[in-house]
Amino acid sequence: MRQTMPVRLGAAEDTLIAQLKSVGANAEAERITIAGLPTRRVESYHYTDLKTLLRAIPPLAQAANQASAPALRVAGAYQLMIANGIIQAAATAPAGIIVGKAAGGVLSTRDDVLVHLNGAFAKESMTLTLESSVDPVIQIDRRSEGEAAHVADSLKIFVADGASAVILETFSGSDAAHVGNHATYIALGKGATVTHITVDLSARAATHFATNEYHVGEGAQLRTLVIHAGAGVARTQLFPRYEGAGAHGDITGLNLVNDGQHSDITMDAHHAVPHTTSQPLFKSIARGRGKAIVQGRLVVARDAQKTDAKLMSQGLMLSDEAEILSKPELEIYADDVVCGHGSTCGKLDEDHLFYLLSRGIPKEEAETMLVRGFLEELVDPIADEALAEALHGVIDGWLLGK
């Protein structure tokens, strides 16, 4: 009889096991004890080896005594805050929004360590019910404050049939080595239209994990944008599921990485019914020894005929030491579909750069212009001017090294 060797656990895993037991999550503690954190051998974590990247886990977060200034402000937005996993008091909600609170996590059960850990540690969930179209941008400021802490929080949003909304989530906090594990669940009713943007502006010492789960109903239109521009280690997981005929998703993301940063956007999209469409587009810019990863999988169910889905990943390396890794996948069980994927990666176009230089534009300014042009199609579809301006500010700040 073949015996399996026990997994050698590191300091981070030992701490996680102790923390899980302290909150009564014994099954999850046993899971870590047996399997440990995912390594390169786990396909979905092939480029983000948590056993190597997570060397230490700080203590579980306590209530925040004081919040630092918001990392991103959008004029006119309705603001909500979750600080150290605790929902904070908010101003009266605009018409069409019901703000509530529920116990526990929000994500569907799946074989993923970050999902399991969030479900175990998230004490309460903010709930938003959008009964009708909402005019102002809804901004949820998710904070990790004080001394280094292990923070878990969750958010659940229901968008009624025919309603529309723009939802912005920002992740930031104190300049400490936090480990954040954030979950967001969004269900779009029939004919609903949602733009969902998440921006990581955490401290460089922080580790940022986020999982976004989407259920897109009949005729609903979803646009997302993930921006990684802060934490030293970042991973956002996207799980869109197209569940009604005419459902469409523009799932987009942007990795902005500097020297020593590791940034991963992983998507696992499921087209579950016929006549659904999606156009995932991910871009990465890396400089120094930064590492950017995009993993994208499109799954088309056996009954999901007439699916039209195209996945694209594009990378721009601004130094010889930079790394951009891309792994697009198609898993198709239907036979009447139009599906495809592509991936490109390179440096700034020398001809374009020469053209700008020949017009008297300084090299640094010319390079910045080309990079902005590379990114424009991600921000250009955002109609709210104040929000678009704020996102341009994030990108420009990164380009200028701020």
Instruction: Work out the burial of residue 66: count CB atoms within 10 Å of its CB; fewer than 13 is exposed, 13-18 middle, 19 or more buried.
Output: exposed
- Residue holding tokens 């019914």? 273
Which pLDDT score, from 0 to 100, does residue 272 have? 98
pLDDT band at 366 (very low <50, low <70, confident <90, very high): confident
Which pLDDT tens digit goes with each residue over 6-23? 688 999 999 999 999 999
Which pLDDT tens digit goes with each residue over 320-332? 999 999 999 999 9
The radius of gyration of the chain's CA atoms, rounded to the nearest angstrom, is: 21
pLDDT band at 1 (very low <50, low <70, confident <90, very high): very low
Sheet containing 97-103, strands listed edge to edge, beginning at the edge strand earlier in sequence: 97-103, 124-130, 150-159, 179-188, 207-216, 233-242, 262-271, 291-300, 323-332
Taking each helix axis from N to C terminus, what angle separates 11-22 and 113-121, rounded to the nearest 10 degrees? 40
- In contact, 176 and 147? CB cutoff 8 Å: yes
Distant-in-sequence, close-in-space partners of 128: CB < 8 Å, separation ≥ 6:
97, 98, 99, 100, 138, 155, 156, 157, 158
> Cα–Cα distance between 294 and 324 in angstroms, integer?
8
Distant-in-sequence, close-in-space partners of 300: CB < 8 Å, separation ≥ 6:
271, 307, 309, 330, 331, 332, 333, 334, 337, 339
- In contact, 202 and 175? CB cutoff 8 Å: no
State both tokens at 180: 């954040």
| pLDDT(90) > 80 | yes
> Cα–Cα distance between 83 and 155 in angstroms, integer?
13
How does the average pLDDT of the chain come out, rounded?
94
The residue that leads in pLDDT, 350 or 43, is: 43
Which pLDDT score, from 0 to 100, does residue 402 have? 56
Within 13 Å and on the Cβ side, how many CA atoms surround 323? Answer: 12
- Bridge partner residues of 172 (DSSP): 143
Which pLDDT score, from 0 to 100, does residue 2 have? 44
- Domain residue extents for the chain: 72-347
Which pLDDT score, from 0 to 100, does residue 362 have? 85
Looking at residue 4, what DSSP letter applies? Answer: P
Which pLDDT score, from 0 to 100, does residue 390 have? 96
Which pLDDT tens digit goes with each residue over 96-125? 999 999 998 899 999 999 999 999 999 999
pLDDT band at 5 (very low <50, low <70, confident <90, very high): low
> Cα–Cα distance between 248 and 381 in angstroms, integer?
15
- Bridge partner residues of 102 (DSSP): 125
Segments in 129-250 forming alpha helices (H)? none
pTM for this entry? 0.95
